[in-house]
Amino acid sequence: MVAEIGPSNVEAAFLLESLAKGIRVDGRGIYDYRRLKISCGPTHGMVEVHLRQTRVLARVSCEVTRPLPDRPTEGIVQFSAELSSMAAPGLESKTAQEVAITRMVERVIRQSRAVDTEALCILAGEKVWLVRLDIHFLDHGGNLIDAASIAAIAALKHFRRPDVTVDGEEAIIHDVRERNPVPLSIHHTPICVSFGFFGGELIVLDTNLLEEQTQVSNFTVTLNAHRELCALNKAGGIPLNPKQIQRCIQIALAKVDEINEKIQEALKACAA
């Protein structure tokens, strides 16, 4: 196993030196997002997100199962995400980093109640849909959280489940060839936007791998298209003052609109 080593002295010193002059190592502006590419398909619920080098694949599938005893009328949304050394030699499954990323994505989707779980109920107490979301990290170029959250929500929106008709106590699940599959009911689209901090007033948006390794703190803002704040996440690092947080949220508002448009475009393109 290759241990992840931090950036070399040359890289770290250069990054800080150029950032002090407002230049980023990949030539972006400090509040520029990398070019986002979302590709859907070939099957429903399969979405791949590219943020330049970063690549994340999300896959949604579903099956019929028994509901949890304490929530007989609610469907289940299950998450699974695993970091592997395929994305970068230093990444490993079951590490704090993996927990941090998957928790965040899970929190964003599940706890903000993005998916209408009651609409996943077929027969109360008997049968509900179990929606499974698998996230695969294919390449690590920094900012996995944002890429994963975009992939996750886009995949949920792209997914179609088989249609069901309920006749008394009997539920008929129609084959996709028989009846057009139906989309999930999604309340809103929470999207993560991450910032990196380098001490003082140095803030950058959408950190790349080198910036991620050099940053002293990071901060993730999650917003939806209705400009509602869904989650904030800051795990350790230097303290931030309220002004900085306000500023980050303002920037994130603009970015979330752009990202949302991209998701809509991508979904429309593959539906056509």
Partner 1 sequence: MADIKAVLPGDVMDTGAAARDGAVLRLGPGLVQADERTSAAAAGVLHSDGDLWWVAGNRRRYVAAEGEPVVGVVVARHGEGYRVDIGSAHDALLPLLAFEGATKRNKPSLAIGTVVYGRVVVANSFMDPEIECYNSHTGKSEGYGELAGGFMFKCTLGLARRLIGSTAPVLAALGSELPFEIAIGVNGRVWVHAEGPEKTVLAANAIRNSEYLDAKQCRQMVKELLAR
Report the nearest approach of partner 1 to the CB of residue 92 (Å).
15
Does position 14 interact with partner 1 (CB under 8 A)? The reply is yes
Counting contacts by CB under 8 A, is residue 124 touching partner 1?
no
The enclosing H or E element of 86 equals: none
Rg for the chain, CA atoms, rounded: 20
Choice between 4 and 82, CB closer to partner 1: 4
Q: Smallest distance, Å, CB 37 to partner 1? A: 16
Q: Residues 11, 92, 116, 163: which binds partner 1 (CB under 8 A)? A: 11
Give the residue among 119, 113, 102 at the shortest CA–CA distance from 62. Answer: 119
Binding of residue 30 to partner 1 (CB under 8 A) = no
Helix (H, G, I), strand (E, B) or coil at 220: strand
Main-chain dihedrals φ then ψ at residue 108, nearest 5 degrees: -65, -45
**Pick from 12, 119, 202, 232: which binds partner 1 (CB under 8 A)?**
12
The 3-state DSSP class for residue 192 equals strand
Which uninterrupted H or E stretch holds 170?
A: strand 170-173
Query: Is the distance from CB of 56 to CB of 138 less than 8 angstroms?
Result: yes
Per-residue binding string, partner 1, 66-105, x by CB under 8 A, is -----------------------x----------------
Which residues sit at the interface with partner 1, rule CB under 8 A?
2, 5-12, 14, 17-18, 21, 23-27, 89
